[in-house]
Chain A
Amino acid sequence: MISIEGLSKRYGDLTVVDDVSFEVESRTIAVVVGTSGSGKSTLLRMINRLVEPSAGRVLIDGQDVAAEPPHLLRRRIGYAIQGHGLFPHRTVAQNIATVPRLLGWPEQRIGARVAELLELLQLDPGAFAGKYPHQLSGGQQQRVGVARALAGDPKVLLMDEPFGALDPIIRAKAQDELLAIQRRLGITVVLVTHDMDEAFKLGARVAVMSQGRLLQFDRPATLLTRPEDPFVARMTGISDRALKLLSLTSARDAAVADDGPGLGDAPQVAATASLREVLSELVWRGATRATVVDERGQACGSLAIADILAHGRAR
Chain B
Amino acid sequence: MAAPRRLDLAGLRRLDPLGTMLVLAGLVAARLPFVIDKANRIVPGDPRPLFEVVPWTAACGCALALLVAGVAALAVRAPGARLAVAVLALAALAFALGAAGDALTPAGNRVVRIAPGAAFWVLAALLGVLAADALARLAPGPAARVLALLLTVLSTGIALASGHFDHVSVMREYAVNADRFTHEAWRHVALAFGSLGAAMVVALPVGLVCHRMPRLRAAVIAALNVVQTVPAIALFGILMAPLGALAAALPAAAHLGVAGIGAAPALLALFLYALLPIVANTVAGLAGVSPAAVEAARGMGMTRGQILAGVEFVLALPVILSGVRIALVQNLGLVTVAALIGAGGFGTFVFQGIGQAAIDLVLLGAIPTVALAFGCAVLLDASIEAMQRGRA
Residue B234 at the chain A interface, CB threshold 8 Å: no
Q: What secondary structure prevails in chain A residues at the interface with B? A: mixed
**CA A148 – CA B302 in complex, angstroms?**
13
Contact A73 B301 (CB under 8 A): yes
Known contacts A85-B293, A88-B391; is A99 also within 8 Å of B301 by CB?
A: yes
> Which single residue of chain A is at the shortest CB-CB distance from B294?
A85
Residue B141 at the chain A interface, CB threshold 8 Å: no
Q: For chain A, residues 67 to 109, give those with C-beta under 8 angstroms from any C-beta of chain B.
A: 70-76, 79, 81-89, 98-99, 102
Residues of A within 8 A of B152 (CB): none
Counting contact residues on chain B (CB < 8 A from A), the size range is: 10 to 19
Known contacts A79-B296, A132-B390, A134-B391; is A85 also within 8 Å of B290 by CB?
A: yes
Q: Shortest Cβ distance from B37 into chain A, in angstroms?
A: 59
Residue A48 at the chain B interface, CB threshold 8 Å: yes
Residues of B within 8 A of A70 (CB): 301
> Which single residue of chain B is at the shortest CB-CB distance from A74?
B301
Residue A50 at the chain B interface, CB threshold 8 Å: yes
Q: For chain B, residues 272 to 326, give those with C-beta under 8 angstroms from any C-beta of chain A.
A: 290, 292-293, 295-303, 306, 311, 314-315
User: Which single member of B295, B303, B314 contacts A71 (CB below 8 Å)?
Assistant: B303
Contact A89 B314 (CB under 8 A): yes
Residue B392 at the chain A interface, CB threshold 8 Å: yes
> Which single residue of chain B is at the shortest CB-CB distance from A103?
B301
Contact B300 A99 (CB under 8 A): yes
Q: Shortest Cβ distance from B156 into chain A, in angstroms?
A: 37
Residues of B within 8 A of A102 (CB): 300-302, 306
**CA A85 – CA B292 in complex, angstroms?**
4
Contact B301 A71 (CB under 8 A): yes
Question: What sequence of 0s and 1s flags, for each residue 220-240 of chain B, a beta carbon within 8 Å of any chain A beta carbon?
Answer: 000000000000000000000
Residues of B within 8 A of A152 (CB): 300
> Which single residue of chain B is at the shortest CB-CB distance from A45?
B299
Q: For chain B, residues 203 to 230, give those with C-beta under 8 angstroms from any C-beta of chain A.
A: none
Contact B296 A81 (CB under 8 A): yes
**CA A261 – CA B299 in complex, angstroms?**
58
Residues of B within 8 A of A50 (CB): 295, 298-299
Contact B391 A85 (CB under 8 A): no
Contact A89 B391 (CB under 8 A): yes
Counting contact residues on chain A (CB < 8 A from B), the size range is: 20 to 34
Known contacts A86-B293, A89-B314; is A79 also within 8 Å of B392 by CB?
A: no
Residues of B within 8 A of A86 (CB): 293, 296
**CA A71 – CA B297 in complex, angstroms?**
10
Known contacts A88-B290, A89-B315; is A75 also within 8 Å of B301 by CB?
A: yes
> Which single residue of chain A is at the shortest CB-CB distance from B318?
A89
Contact A79 B311 (CB under 8 A): no
Q: Shortest Cβ distance from A190 into chain B, in angstroms?
A: 13
Residues of A within 8 A of B391 (CB): 88-89, 132, 134
Q: Shortest Cβ distance from A73 into chain B, in angstroms?
A: 7
Contact A87 B293 (CB under 8 A): yes
User: Which single member of A88, A98, A134 contacts B300 (CB below 8 Å)?
Assistant: A98
Residues of B within 8 A of A79 (CB): 296, 299-300
Residues of B within 8 A of A76 (CB): 301
User: Which single member of B292, B298, B315 contacts A74 (CB below 8 Å)?
Assistant: B298
Contact A148 B301 (CB under 8 A): no
Residues of A within 8 A of B392 (CB): 132, 134
Contact A74 B300 (CB under 8 A): yes
**CA A188 – CA B290 in complex, angstroms?**
29
**CA A76 – CA B301 in complex, angstroms?**
8
Q: Shortest Cβ distance from A164 into chain B, in angstroms?
A: 11
Residues of B within 8 A of A48 (CB): 299
Residues of A within 8 A of B306 (CB): 102
Residues of B within 8 A of A99 (CB): 300-301
Contact B301 A72 (CB under 8 A): yes
**CA A145 – CA B293 in complex, angstroms?**
11
> Which single residue of chain A is at the shortest CB-CB distance from B291?
A85
**CA A112 – CA B139 in complex, angstroms?**
41
Q: Shortest Cβ distance from A74 into chain B, in angstroms?
A: 3
**CA A86 – CA B294 in complex, angstroms?**
9
Q: Shortest Cβ distance from A89 into chain B, in angstroms?
A: 5
Interface centre among A71, A85, A148 (most CB of B within 10 A): A85
User: Which single member of B295, B301, B315 contacts A85 (CB below 8 Å)?
Assistant: B295
Q: Shortest Cβ distance from B314 into chain A, in angstroms?
A: 6
Contact B302 A71 (CB under 8 A): yes
Contact B296 A88 (CB under 8 A): no
Q: Shortest Cβ distance from B298 into chain A, in angstroms?
A: 6
> Which single residue of chain A is at the shortest CB-CB distance from B390?
A132
Question: What sequence of 0s and 1s flags, for each residue 133-170 of chain B, a beta carbon within 8 Å of any chain A beta carbon?
Answer: 00000000000000000000000000000000000000
**CA A74 – CA B303 in complex, angstroms?**
10
Residues of B within 8 A of A74 (CB): 298-301
Residues of A within 8 A of B302 (CB): 71, 98, 102
Q: Shortest Cβ distance from A161 into chain B, in angstroms?
A: 11
Q: Shortest Cβ distance from A144 into chain B, in angstroms?
A: 11
**CA A88 – CA B315 in complex, angstroms?**
8
**CA A70 – CA B301 in complex, angstroms?**
7
> Which single residue of chain A is at the shortest CB-CB distance from B296?
A85
**CA A72 – CA B298 in complex, angstroms?**
11
> Which single residue of chain B is at the shortest CB-CB distance from A135?
B392
Q: Shortest Cβ distance from B318 into chain A, in angstroms?
A: 10
Residues of B within 8 A of A148 (CB): 296, 300
Q: Shortest Cβ distance from B114 into chain A, in angstroms?
A: 55
Q: Shortest Cβ distance from A188 into chain B, in angstroms?
A: 17
Residues of B within 8 A of A83 (CB): 292
**CA A79 – CA B314 in complex, angstroms?**
22
Q: Which 7 A-B pairs have the closest CB atoms?
A: A85-B296, A74-B301, A79-B299, A75-B301, A85-B292, A71-B301, A83-B292
Q: List 12 A-B contacts (CB under 8 A).
A: A70-B301, A74-B298, A74-B299, A81-B292, A82-B292, A87-B311, A87-B315, A89-B390, A89-B391, A132-B392, A145-B296, A148-B300
Supplied contacts A98-B297, A102-B306, A132-B391, 15 more A-B pairs, CB within 8 Å: A48-B299, A70-B301, A73-B301, A74-B300, A74-B301, A79-B296, A82-B292, A85-B293, A85-B295, A86-B293, A86-B296, A87-B315, A132-B390, A148-B296, A148-B300
